[in-house]
């Protein structure tokens, strides 16, 4: 089955601009999570969506937002970009069924803010 | 609060064993373990839930010690493919069940 896809893979933006990243989960997975990874702060949880509802949100400013569509595809948006937003943004889709849990990450979107 | 992983790095010979610890200052609800190779996305290894049993993924297993607020990942008879950075992610009620990651443990398995 197809894996998690993220678009675009690479992005260069200027401070003050906004950006939208997209994530298509594995077919049948209704939960999508977003993470930010930087050398300084490591891996940080951004948000989790399940069936179009935000189930949890990390400690990020309101400039970071997301949504999930009825087909489980998800987008995250960062407005008024700052240099510190340069990072690898990872999306993961997951499925919990009974005692089984599986989670797969997409390849990530590398965002550079100049 | 971020869980603390130890050691920060470990070098092994193929076939050797290693243990990576993940300690939380708050009562744990769940612990997730991941491995990430350089330039790649993390790979989910396993999840351990409060009250759950020890899990395994090939020759990699993990335990959850509720009393110690700690999880340990065991790399048994390590293979070259085990090289990478291992992260634990913890969910605690105190943090609103938001997944919080440790700083990672770099593992290098040499032939």
Question: How many Å lie between the alpha carbon of B98 and the closest alpha carbon of chain A?
Answer: 6
The mean pLDDT of A46-74, rounded to a whole number, is 95
Which pair of structure tokens corresponds to residue A8?
A: 């675009």
- For residue A100, give the chain B residue with the closest CA: B47
On the question of pLDDT at A101 being above 90, the answer is no
Taking CA atoms, A96 is separated from A26, A100, B55, B68, B96, in Å, by: 13, 6, 16, 27, 19
Res A35: pLDDT: 97
**pLDDT digits 0-9 by tens, A40-57:** 999 999 999 999 999 999
**Residue A82 has what pLDDT?**
97
Q: Is B50 on the interface with A (CB under 8 A)?
A: no
Which tens digit of pLDDT belongs to each residue from B21-59?
A: 999 999 888 999 999 999 999 999 999 987 666 666 678
Q: How far is A13 from chain B (nearest CA, A)?
A: 21
pLDDT at residue A14 is higher than 70: yes
Report pLDDT for B55.
66
Interface check B95 vs A, CB under 8 A: no
The span from the CA of B69 to the CA of B56, in Å, is 19
């Amino acid at each position: 089955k197809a894996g998690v896809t993220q678009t675009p893979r690479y992005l260069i933006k200027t401070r003050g601009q906004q950006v939208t990243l997209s994530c298509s989960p594995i077919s049948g997975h209704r939960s999508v999570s977003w993470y930010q990874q930087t050398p300084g702060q490591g891996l940080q949880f951004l948000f989790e969506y399940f069936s179009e509802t935000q189930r949890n949100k990390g400690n990020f400013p309101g400039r970071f937002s997301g949504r999930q569509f009825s087909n489980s595809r998800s987008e995250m948006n960062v407005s008024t970009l700052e240099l510190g937003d340069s990072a690898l943004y990872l999306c993961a889709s997951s499925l919990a069924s009974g005692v089984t849990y599986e989670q797969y990450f997409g390849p990530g979107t590398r965002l550079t803010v100049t | 609060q971020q869980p603390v992983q130890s050691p920060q790095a470990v070098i092994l010979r193929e076939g050797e064993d290693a243990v990576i610890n993940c300690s939380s200052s708050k009562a744990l609800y769940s612990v997730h373990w991941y491995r990430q190779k350089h330039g790649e996305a993390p790979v989910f290894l396993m999840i351990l839930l409060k009250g759950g049993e020890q899990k395994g993924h090939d020759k990699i297993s993990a335990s959850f010690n509720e009393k110690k607020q700690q999880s340990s990942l065991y790399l048994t008879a390590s293979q070259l493919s085990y090289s990478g950075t291992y992260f634990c992610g913890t969910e605690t009620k105190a943090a609103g069940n938001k997944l919080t990651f440790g700083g990672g443990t770099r593992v290098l398995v040499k032939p």
